[in-house]
């Protein structure tokens, strides 16, 4: 298996890294994240107009570049290295994946808007009693004339306060944990003025991102809100969420590269007993252990990325293995970086504190270690 980037892929990586070094200041991004906007619209516009990364992995029929999994990995890793809070994974990977796999003129129109930078997507999938199982869907959608009527609740819907469109999973047939009978619905969204029958309870997550819990009580949607074939959305959701896990694995690798680099640099500067603490052998060993965890995480991410085109069970095994490896590495590298920085590592004055919070969130995003260990085991049983 060849892991060498092509010239075009190297240029993509370098262009993103250069843009973020020159334009993405961590202090400004944290200020934006903690205040009313929650993000930097000018940066998002730059992603669309200057870098073109919002369409890099989307199909050419919607003005995208038709890139693949490697391009996705490159983009996500660079965004992770700069600790970007703008909703790339939610919009491009999840939203774009759901819309592309569902098909249809309406989906393609929104995909074109994603490429142009004018559409941002949130996916409402998890429910108060579903845990991390996305086919455990209790929200219902029933026909009423030409309309659909939705009832139920969704939790931890990230990017809702920023989203222009919402994709909702709802059950149109079957029992609660059936994989068949799940449908997807698309609606335009203004979180400050939600449609009748929908309540939005917004909040900020521990890693300075925006999310919301949603309640649907007889919310009516037009017939054309249905994406794809009624009751047949599970395969679309399953494949798209594996794409999202692979992307966040790459993002975590970017975060960990930055955390390790900053930690090594700090130990060269911080002195104790008249010498840099990086000269202490025990701390050198600790940083070597951090490096080894990072290399294992990189290898697992490469495996996951190269498995996205495999048949579903092989893809799922690689994705879950990568998620477990990434979660372990994120915890080890994050906690040791904080310890080596001393008490300052937990403050927001240093970048390490912000990266640590993001790595902590990434441990459980799209499924905990226990969830993915169980998933992997179920896929490998004879």
**DSSP structural state of residue 232:** B
Q: Which of 73, 54, 199, 184 is nearest to 113 (CA)?
A: 54
**What secondary structure letter does DSSP report for 93?**
I
- pLDDT tens-digit series, residues 59-68: 999 999 999 9
List the beta bridge partners of residue 271.
276
Beta carbons within 10 angstroms of residue 144's beta carbon? 9
Residue 373 gets which letter from DSSP?
Answer: H
pLDDT value for 35: 81
CA-nearest of 214, 213, 333, 206 to 263 is: 333
Q: How many residues does the chain have?
A: 382
CA triplet 241, 247, 251: central angle to 5 degrees?
A: 140
Own/partner pairs for 3-6, CB < 8 Å, 24+ apart? 3/302, 5/70, 5/74
User: What is the rounded CA–CA span in Å between residue 58 and residue 374?
Assistant: 32
Query: How far is the C-alpha of 196 from the C-alpha of 191, rounded, in Å?
Result: 12
Residue 212's H or E segment, with its range, is strand 210-222
Q: What is the DSSP string of 7-29?
A: HHHHHHHHHHHHHHHHH--HHHH
Place of tokens 């649907």: 216
* C-beta atoms surrounding 285 within 10 Å: 10
Contact criterion met (CB below 8 Å) for 128 and 56: no
Give the C-alpha separation, 120 to 238, whole Å. 21
Asked if residue 246 lies in contact with residue 69, where contact means CB atoms within 8 angstroms, the answer is: yes
Q: What is the pLDDT of residue 1?
A: 61
DSSP conformational letter for 209: -
Cβ proximity of 169 and 228 under 8 Å: no
Per the CB < 8 A criterion, the answer to whether 246 and 308 are in contact is yes
Q: Are 28 and 39 in contact (CB under 8 A)?
A: no
Q: H or E element: which one contains 370?
A: helix 369-380
pTM over 0.85: yes
* Segments of the chain with pLDDT less than 50: none
* Distance from C-alpha of 19 to C-alpha of 25, rounded to nearest angstrom: 11
Q: Which residues pair with 198 in a beta bridge?
A: 216
Measure the CA dihedral 111/14/75/30, to 10°.
-100
pLDDT at position 161, please? 87
DSSP 62: G
pLDDT at 349: 78
């Amino acid at each position: 298996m060849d892991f060498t980037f092509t010239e075009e892929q190297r240029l993509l990586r370098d262009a993103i890294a250069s843009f973020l070094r020159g334009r993405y200041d961590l202090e400004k991004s944290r200020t934006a994240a903690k205040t009313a906007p929650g993000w930097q619209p000018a940066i998002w516009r730059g992603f669309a107009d200057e870098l073109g990364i919002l369409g890099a992995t989307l199909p050419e029929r919607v003005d995208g570049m038709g890139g693949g999994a490697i391009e996705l990995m490159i983009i996500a890793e660079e965004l992770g290295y700069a600790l970007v809070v703008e909703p790339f994974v939610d919009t491009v990977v999840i939203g774009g994946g759901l819309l592309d796999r569902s098909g249809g003129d309406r989906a393609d129109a929104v995909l074109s808007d994603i490429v142009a930078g004018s559409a941002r997507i949130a996916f409402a999938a998890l429910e108060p009693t579903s845990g991390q199982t996305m086919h455990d869907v209790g929200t219902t959608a029933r026909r009423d004339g030409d309309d659909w009527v939705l009832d139920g609740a969704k939790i931890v819907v990230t990017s809702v306060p920023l989203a222009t469109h919402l994709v909702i999973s709802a059950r149109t047939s079957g029992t609660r944990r059936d994989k068949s009978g799940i449908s997807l619905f698309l609606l335009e969204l203004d979180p400050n003025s939600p449609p009748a029958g929908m309540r939005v309870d917004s909040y900020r997550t521990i890693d300075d991102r925006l999310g919301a819990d949603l309640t649907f009580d007889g919310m009516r949607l037009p017939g054309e809100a249905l994406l794809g074939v009624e009751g047949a959305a599970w395969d679309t959701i399953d494949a798209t969420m594996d794409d999202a896990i692979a992307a966040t694995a790459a993002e975590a690798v970017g975060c960990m590269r930055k955390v390790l680099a900053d930690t090594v640099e700090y130990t060269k500067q911080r002195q104790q007993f008249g010498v840099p603490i990086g000269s202490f052998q025990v701390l050198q060993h600790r940083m070597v252990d951090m490096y080894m965890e990072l290399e294992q995480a990189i290898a697992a991410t490469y495996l996951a990325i190269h498995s996205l085109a495999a048949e579903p069970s092989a893809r799922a095994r690689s994705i879950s293995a990568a998620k477990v490896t990434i979660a372990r590495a994120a915890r080890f590298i994050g906690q040791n970086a904080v310890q080596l920085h001393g008490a300052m590592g937990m403050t927001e004055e240093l970048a390490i504190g912000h990266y640590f919070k993001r790595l902590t969130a990434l441990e459980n995003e799209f499924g905990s270690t226990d969830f993915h260990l169980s998933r992997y085991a179920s896929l490998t049983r004879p």
